[in-house]
Every structure is written in structure tokens, then in C-alpha cells.
Amino acid sequence: MKFQSYHFTSVELQNRIRTLLADKSYSKERLKFLLSAIDLTSLEARDTHEKIKAVCHKAFSFSSIAEGMPNVAAVCFYPPFMATAKQELMDKGIALASVAGAFPSGQSPLFVKLHEIQYAIDEGAEEIDMVISRGTFLEGKYMEVMDEIQAIKIVCGDIHLKVILETGELQSPENIRKASELAILGGGDFLKTSTGKVQPAATLEAFLIMLDTIKEYYDATGKMIGIKAAGGISTYESAMDYYWLTKKILGDKWLNSSYFRIGASRLADNLVEAILAF
């Protein structure tokens, strides 16, 4: 499909966000939903197998804190930790995701990316979070970016592919829109804001552009594309803003962990505190 032209200034996006969030509200059930939509992550150079085990244990321990408290949707680690995490999560009902394909830079030859992604899948990954090469994109080589996503999706097959745009490096609303279009047309199952490794990471302005693109694609094709906000979201108040934008633009059909995720390491504890205090 061909997307429509899209021209919003940053000021116009901010004004739309203020309008969309003007009547937002909180509830215990919404806070629980946000907890259930988290991808609990550890993506540090100093990660160890013991740390990965600890994160996995935390991921399936939330439900023991209080009656009705949900566990998170998934955990996300580097490929070498897939086998360890798979063993820890056996029969826990929590998805196992891996960042793969030259995360976080995206700067490797395609064959290297494909081999790394296949390795992560072979080791147990049930979801793949890839990142586009921003350098290739900013050079205007849009077809090369889309071709890489298509090649990676072929390797993934039925495994969900989240395409990280790294919106903080894309420099303009027009570029975020174009990258969103390429990710969808390339076969991505999810659009994701950021790696969490650069600033700015997730922003409401970038998220709104991604939501608009998903909605236009859904209206034209009937196919739902998921959305994930990641990077710097640490409080339930900020997380709720992403919830409400999704609800207002895409509707309740997207408000489940199959189509809405938040990538966070600090947010989960903040949500638990808010739920217990509600």
C-alpha cells in the first residue's frame, strides 16, 4: 500500500497530545494492565547468567505479591542468555525475547545480523527485537532498510518481530513517519520506539507518529500492528500516557499484551507500589 502524506510539526504533535491526554484517568485495573504488558529487560555489557536468572525469577514472582497481581508479559536479553532464560521460564507463561541483529547500533552486514537472529531463535527466543540501521536510513537508502527488515522477518517466520526505530536519532517527524512505514511494509509485527541506549529515548511525539501510521495501515488493510514504547519510562504516570494515546488512537483492541508492550527495567516496581497503594 501507499501511505498518505504526513506533515505535522513538533508543536502540532504536542498540541494533539495535550488534547488527547486532557481527560486521562487512573485505575487499579489500568495499572495492572500496564504491569502485564511489560517486557522486563536486562541489556547491559555486565550481564551475567546469574543476573539473567534473577530477572527471570522476578518476572514470574509478581503474582505472588498480592492477589490479582499479574506477572509481566516477557523478558528481553542478549542472545547468549536465551538458553539460560528458557530454562528458568519453563511453563511460566512469560515470553522470551531477544535483542538481535547488531543491537543497538544496527551497524553490521546483513548476513551477520541474520546469523545472530537465527542463533537467538535456536537458543529459545520467541520474539526478536531488531533495530534499523539509522545511518543507512539517514543516507536515504530506504529500500535497503526495508529489504533488511524483510530478510530478517523471513528468518523469524512466525516469531514476532519488533522493529526498533531509535526515534531519537531520526531527527524529524517526517523521518519517524517514513521509518514507521518501512518497518510495517517490511513485515514488522511491532513498531518499537527505542533501544534505551540513546537520548532522547521514548517520547510521546514519536509514539503518536507511530500510532498514526499503524492506524492508517489498519484502516487500509485490516491488519493490526503492535506497538512498544521503550527507553526511559520509569513511572506509572508516564507509562499511563502511552496507554491513553494508544487507547485514543487505536482503540481497546490494542490494549492487550499481544499488541501493546512497554520495555522497562525500573517501571515494574513503580507500578507494583502504585497498585498496592491504590
Residues with a known catalytic role: 129, 192, 228
Distances (CA, A) of 148 to 1, 82, 192, 245: 19, 23, 16, 30
Cα(39)–Cα(96) distance, integer angstroms: 9
Kindly tell me the burial class for residue 9, based on how many C-beta atoms sit within 10 Å of its own C-beta (0-12, 13-18, 19 or more).
exposed
Is the alpha carbon torsion for 190, 194, 196, 200 positive or negative?
Answer: negative
The backbone torsions φ and ψ at residue 192, rounded to the nearest 5 degrees and listed phi first, read: -130, 140
Residue of 228, 237, 246, 230 whose CA lies nearest to 273? 237
Cα(173)–Cα(206) distance, integer angstroms: 7
**Beta-carbon contacts of residue 244 (< 8 Å; ≥ 6 apart):** 20, 21, 24
